[in-house]
């Protein structure tokens, strides 16, 4: 089932979330990928599960790096309260030191997304971006630059509306 199709149905979104908490590691990985794709289109579709998804990400074993990568993007996208954003930011800080490169990449992107909506996270996100640009892998540098472009675009829009 495609992400767009799942997103059109509350029942399908509920089924997807149930699969994220299932026992089958491969199914969980695929469900996390679909959740990531859904939140690329509209994070609001999974907002009601923000706390549960944050808890899942915090408890997934290190061996499930692909699932952790996907959820490392989903959790920041669905965090819609200050408490959820701060919780997600703490998790992103931990993921930034993960052994998996893809998980570290999701951490910088996730923290960057959170900082767009939570100004108190901006300094921490900037520090992570600088560290990734200085010491990161090619993929980490790419994600850090993508966050900088996202911030620049967001600032441009803000200035456009205010001016």
How many helices and strands (H and E) does the chain possess?
Answer: 9, 0
Mean pLDDT of the chain: 92
Left (φ > 0), alpha (ψ -120 to 50) or beta: where does 81 sit?
beta
Q: From CA 54, how far away is CA 42, in angstroms rounded?
A: 17
- Which of 16, 19, 21, 20 shows the shortest CA–CA distance to 4? 16
Q: 66 by DSSP, 3-state: which?
A: helix
pLDDT above 80 (res 162)? no
pLDDT class for 163, splitting at 50, 70, 90? Answer: very low
pLDDT tens, residue by residue, 36-66: 999 999 999 999 999 999 999 999 999 999 9
Domains and CATH numbers, the chain: 3-162 (1.25.10.10)
Give this prediction's pTM.
Answer: 0.89
pLDDT class for 2, splitting at 50, 70, 90? Answer: low
């Amino acid at each position: 089932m495609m992400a767009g199709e799942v997103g059109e149905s509350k029942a399908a979104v509920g089924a997807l979330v149930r699969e994220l908490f299932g026992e089958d590691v491969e199914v969980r990985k695929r469900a996390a990928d679909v959740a990531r794709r859904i939140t690329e289109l509209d994070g609001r579709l999974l907002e009601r599960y923000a706390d549960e998804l944050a808890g899942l990400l915090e408890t997934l074993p290190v061996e499930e790096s692909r699932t952790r990568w996907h959820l490392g993007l989903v959790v920041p996208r669905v965090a819609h309260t200050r408490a959820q954003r701060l919780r997600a930011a703490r998790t992103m800080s931990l993921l930034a030191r993960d052994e998996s490169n893809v998980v570290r990449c999701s951490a910088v992107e996730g923290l960057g997304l959170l900082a767009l909506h939570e100004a108190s996270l901006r300094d921490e996100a900037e520090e992570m971006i600088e560290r990734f640009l200085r010491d990161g892998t090619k993929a980490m540098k790419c994600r850090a630059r993508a966050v900088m472009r996202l911030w620049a675009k967001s600032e441009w829009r803000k200035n456009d509306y205010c001016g």
